[in-house]
Each structure stands twice: as C-alpha cells, then as structure tokens.
C-alpha cells in the first residue's frame, strides 16, 4: 500500500437511488431552504448550521467548496434523489490525508428525504469512488446521540474505533463524538 496522489474527483457520481454533483452557485437557494426548514433538527448535531442565516451564506459555502476542489483539500457533493431530481442534502469528503490514504466523509439530509435509504446509497456510492481512487481508510464521525448516523455507519460495515468525550461544542453544550472507520 502506498500514499494516494492528490487528484481531481468526478464532478458527478450516480448510485442506485442518488446522484451526487459538485454544487454550483444556483444551488444556494434550495440548500438554504433545506437547512432553514430543518434548522432545529440539524443544529442538534451540526455546529455549522448556526453560521447559515441566508442564501448568501450558502453561496459563500459553495465558493469555499470551489477552492477546496481546486486545491484538492475537499470534495463536496450535493445529493439529489434520482427518482424526483430534487435536492436532498449534502455529502462531502474532507480531512484528506493523501499521504496516509485516509479521508473523512460527512453528510446531512433533509427531513423530507430522511429514512428512505438515500444517504446510505450516497455513502456507499462515494465509498466506491474513494476506494477506487486508492484510499485505504474512510472515517465517519457523528454525535453519540445521532443514532441515525451511527446506524448508517454500522449498516455499511464501519467499525467503531472509539468515542471522543466532550470534543465538540454545539449550541452551548459539549457532545461526545463516535469515530467509525472502514478499511479497503
């Protein structure tokens, strides 16, 4: 096994039920609507939600993803339901450690699409891209209270490596984080 050479990722990937696309600026409004309507639910587990107050904030996020793509520092994808074509959430690859063939996957989904297997398909689809690209270890982190996310990781064969106590502050409260990994 050797290091993975930094390289570009596909801008679009299709799974059985989802299509993952590099986000463009015209997606800022639907992204904001999804975050805003699910703000309370998402803020329970995701600290970045507190920083999203407008379509302009989403545009800034998307511009940041352009830089990350360009620098090969991260690869964000908008998640679309293949059946309806509707935007459903985001999934990203970040904390890339090219030298060690490791990266992290993070995700969120709109409540309108929750529980339908779309995120499971999205994670599985992205895993295949990452393993095919030469990554050896994939990581998923989630709040210990986020049973949907931890169940998804377990259902895809991720191993619970451990729990980091009080490692993240969300909405004024410290939370523990589970760290899962999957090896090639």
Please say whether the beta carbons of 42 and 148 come within 8 A.
no
Residue 5: predicted pLDDT: 81
- Average pLDDT of 4-30? 93
Instruction: Examine the pLDDT at 108 and tell me if it is beyond 70.
Output: yes
Q: How confident is the model at residue 134 (pLDDT cuts 50, 70, 90)?
A: very high
Domain boundaries, the chain: 12-142
CATH of 12-142, picked from 3.40.50.800, 3.40.630.30, 1.20.1740.10, 3.30.1330.200, is 3.40.630.30
- Report which listed range, 4-18, 54-68, 158-172, is most confident: 54-68
* Alpha carbons 85 and 119: distance in angstroms, whole number: 15
Residue 7: predicted pLDDT: 79
Residue 1: predicted pLDDT: 62
* Alpha carbons 47 and 37: distance in angstroms, whole number: 16
Residue 5 burial (C-beta neighbours within 10 Å; 0-12, 13-18, 19+) = exposed
Please spell the DSSP secondary structure of 26-85, one letter per residue. Answer: GGHHHHHHHHHHTHHHHHTT-GGGGG--SHHHHHHHHHHHHHHHHHTS-EEEEEEETTT-
Handedness of CA 107, 90, 125, 72 (dihedral sign): negative
- Average pLDDT of 138-163? 97
Please spell the DSSP secondary structure of 108-176, one letter per residue. Answer: EE-TTTTTSSHHHHHHHHHHHHHHHTT--EEEEEEETT-HHHHHHHHHTT-EEEEEEEEEEEETTEEEE
Please say whether the beta carbons of 120 and 15 come within 8 A.
no
pLDDT digits (tens, 9 = 90+) for 34-52: 999 999 999 888 889 999 9
The residue to which tokens 């904030």 are assigned: 57
- Enumerate the β-bridge partners of residue 106: 92
pLDDT digits (tens, 9 = 90+) for 161-178: 999 999 988 778 899 999
Residue 4: predicted pLDDT: 81
Residue 3: predicted pLDDT: 77
């Amino acid at each position: 096994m050797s290091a993975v050479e930094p390289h570009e990722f596909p801008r679009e990937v299709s799974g059985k039920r989802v299509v993952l696309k590099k986000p463009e600026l015209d997606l800022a409004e639907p992204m904001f609507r999804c975050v805003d309507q699910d703000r309370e639910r998402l803020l329970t587990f995701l600290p970045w939600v507190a920083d999203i107050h407008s379509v302009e904030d989403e545009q800034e996020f998307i511009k940041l993803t352009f830089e990350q793509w360009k620098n090969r520092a991260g690869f964000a994808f908008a998640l679309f339901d293949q059946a309806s074509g509707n935007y459903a959430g985001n999934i990203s690859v970040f904390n890339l450690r090219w030298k060690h063939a490791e990266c992290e996957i993070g995700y969120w989904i709109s409540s309108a699409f929750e529980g339908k297997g779309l995120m499971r398909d999205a994670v599985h689809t992205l895993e295949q891209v990452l393993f095919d690209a030469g990554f050896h270890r994939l990581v998923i982190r989630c709040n210990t209270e986020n049973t949907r996310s931890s169940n998804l990781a377990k259902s895809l064969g991720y191993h619970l490596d451990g729990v980091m106590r009080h490692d993240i502050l969300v909405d004024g409260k410290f939370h523990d984080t589970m760290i899962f990994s999957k090896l090639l």
